[in-house]
Structure 1
Amino acid sequence: MATTSTQPRLAPTTRALPALAAWGAAVGGTLFVGAVLADQGVWYAGFVSEAGVPGQGFRAPYVVGLFGVGVALVCLAGAPRALLALPALAVAAGGLLASTAAAVPCSPGCPLPPYETPTGQDLVHAGAAVARAGLRALAGLLLAEGRRDDVTRRVSRVALGPVVVAGVATLYGLAFVGRSTFTGTAERVLLVLIIAWTVALAVGLRRARPD
């Protein structure tokens, strides 16, 4: 007896967008993470965004990589009909905010309240970065709890738990610990998980059978 595939169906003209999203997230994420590690090392008692401050040695790959991830998210949101309106909107907004965080760097040290005195530019950068991560987590939650048993749901269910744990740890560090190895490590883990989720989701949608 024939079985019915639960994979989302993409038109041939639409299948290019998941491919662009996968490449953008993979290449952009590699540049971004590589720049952070080259600038700060594995353990750093500070914020990831400090690698993107003007004058830092690896700012160029940091900015290019972050823009690449932002473009990947926008492509991912527009790619398939499998992404319903609300999660697609959250993904697209997260991509735009990633580009905003890349375009508006923080000042040296990336000071944040309540432990330091930030500039307006610092608040814009931090607000975009936090909202970006929150929207991606929201999109993952919406997809994980969706009705359809397809690639978007399966990938998001696998990623949701680790992303939520890392996100809560990052927020706790920002609010109650401040600049520390704990906060920096939690932030790194969260960003790597989100990039990995983006790549996995884009690859899964690229492999979906066309109409």
Structure 2
Amino acid sequence: MTVTRRRARAALSGLCVFAGAVIMLVALIATPGDWLHGYVSEAGAAGQPYAGVYRTGLLVLAAGIGVLGGVVSPMSRLAARLLLAAALLAGASGAVTCSAGCPLPPYERSTLTDLAHATASVVGMIVLAAAMAAVAWTVRDHVQRRMAAAALAPTVPLGAVLGVTMLVAGRGVLSAAVERVVLVVAVSWLIGAATVVAAAQPTPGMVSRRGTRDRAGRL
């Protein structure tokens, strides 16, 4: 992939992630009820007036993650694979809708679709956090490494808090607040990682941290 094409794909990735996040946010705010309470996925639950809009936004965001996976492949194959896996899981989360309120055990009775949706969402975030770690550990670019580390630092403890809260207290204000912070961090990192690549000026012989050299000005 040429440098110019890679930069164009990075720009496309950032635009998809940004557009998808905005579409989801609009659907979340427009959905009746307090948009700061409950799980974000409730905006896309069956029967909600803007469920289709929310799911469309999630699929657009998933596409952006997938494109970013291809963009970072020359820098880190591990990170690329993790991003592609996260994209597939995000797409599955958008394709499989939960029922009203997105009920989850142990405090609410859940359907198989509820569990499938929740599993795709939770595992997707875990895989995305692993992609952050892979970028922070394997990519040579200092800006990318620092951004990934900065995003990973709050994601891991907040993700743990969210998981414990869901199991101990169930759906509520605390889990809603923590989930939204984690999502903001994730979206910010995705857009930031794409922007750095899109704005980068090509340099001869760019090298990954593992020592892969671009001898022909290609990445």
Report the TM-score when normalising by structure 2: 0.86
**Does the CA-based 8 Å contact 2:58-2:91 persist in structure 1?**
yes
Partner of 2:92: 100
CA offsets per residue over residues 101-125 of structure 1, 9 Å max, x none? 1110001121111112211111110
Residue number among 8, 12, 15 corresponding to 2:4 in the alignment: 12
**Does the CA-based 8 Å contact 2:75-2:139 persist in structure 1?**
no
1:188 matched to 2:180: yes
Residue number among 19, 34, 38 corresponding to 1:27 in the alignment: 19
CA offsets per residue over residues 161-199 of structure 1, 9 Å max, x none? 122232122112212110111111111111111111100
**Does the CA-based 8 Å contact 2:79-2:135 persist in structure 1?**
yes
Q: After the TM superposition, which of the residue ranges 95-104 and 153-162 deviates more from structure 2?
A: 153-162
Residue number among 119, 122, 132 corresponding to 2:114 in the alignment: 122
Residue identity in the other structure for 2:53: P
Partner of 1:69: 61
Partner of 1:79: 71
Query: What secondary structure is seen at the aligned counterpart in 2 of 1:12?
Result: helix
Residue number among 14, 24, 30 corresponding to 1:38 in the alignment: 30
Q: For structure 2, which runs of at least 5 residues remain unmatched after alignment?
A: 203-216
Structure 2 CA distance for aligned equivalents of residues 53 and 173 of structure 1: 21
CA offsets per residue over residues 6-54 of structure 1, 9 Å max, x none? xxx962222221111100011111111222233254531x211111012
Partner of 2:196: 204
Residue number among 100, 106, 110 corresponding to 2:102 in the alignment: 110
Identity score, percent: 34
Two-structure CA RMSD over aligned residues (Å) = 1.8
1:165 matched to 2:166: no
Q: For structure 1, which runs of at least 5 residues remain unmatched after alignment?
A: 1-8
Q: Could you say which structure has the greater relative contact order, defined with CA pairs below 8 angstroms and 6 or more residues apart?
A: 1
Partner of 2:145: 153
Aligned residue pairs total 202
4+ residue segments displaced more than 4 Å? none
Partner of 2:206: none
Report the TM-score when normalising by structure 1: 0.89
